[in-house]
């Protein structure tokens, strides 16, 4: 490798590679098991453009709830492309704990990442 030949300390080298063609249609999607200590509240999530409605508990992300309901929403989050599930929330509230892929100004404008947003009320998404 050229870096090693130039004297670079390869212990500090990190490389990632993504092969989207090799991934299955369902990726590594798993429906998380319910936590018995979580209150059994179920929120209504409406996709405004399509008119589809799904149920989502506070212990599940909106993206996982959509997949569990058989809906395919755009996302490549599990493939290393953060922010690909970004959507505008028309109404409602969510608990969104993200590690990037969205800027604060986008959050301030009502954008959320479906892959890491758990509803805390009924939600309407502009999809």
Per-residue model confidence as pLDDT tens digits over 26-65: 455 555 565 555 456 899 999 999 999 999 999 999 999 9
Sheet with strand 111-113: strands edge to edge: 52-56, 43-47, 123-125, 86-91, 111-113
Percent of the chain topping pLDDT 90: 52
What local confidence, expressed as pLDDT, does residue 101 receive? 86
Nearby residues of 119 by Cβ (< 8 Å), 6 or more positions away: 43, 45, 56, 58, 62, 92, 93, 94, 95
Is it the case that residue 18 has pLDDT exceeding 60?
no
Q: Of 91, 86, 50, whose CA–CA distance to 71 is shortest?
A: 50
Mean pLDDT of 94-98: 93
Mean pLDDT of 108-122: 95
| pLDDT confidence tier of residue 105, bands split at 50, 70 and 90 | very high
Classified as helix, coil or strand, 102 is coil
What mean pLDDT, rounded, does the chain reach? 83
Classified as helix, coil or strand, 118 is strand
Burial of 100 (0-12, 13-18, 19+ CB in 10 A): exposed
């Amino acid at each position: 490798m050229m870096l090693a030949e130039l004297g670079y300390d390869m212990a500090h080298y990190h490389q990632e590679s993504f092969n989207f063609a090799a991934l299955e249609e369902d990726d590594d999607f798993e429906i998380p098991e319910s936590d018995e200590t979580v209150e059994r509240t179920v929120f209504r999530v409406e996709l405004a453009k399509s008119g589809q409605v799904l149920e989502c508990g506070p212990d599940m992300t909106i993206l996982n709830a959509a997949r569990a309901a058989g809906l395919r929403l755009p996302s490549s989050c599990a493939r290393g492309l953060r922010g690909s599930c970004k959507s505008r929330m028309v109404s409602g509230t969510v608990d969104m704990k993200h590690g990037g892929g969205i800027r604060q100004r986008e959050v301030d404008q009502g954008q959320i990442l479906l892959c890491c947003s758990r509803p805390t009320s009924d939600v309407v998404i502009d999809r």
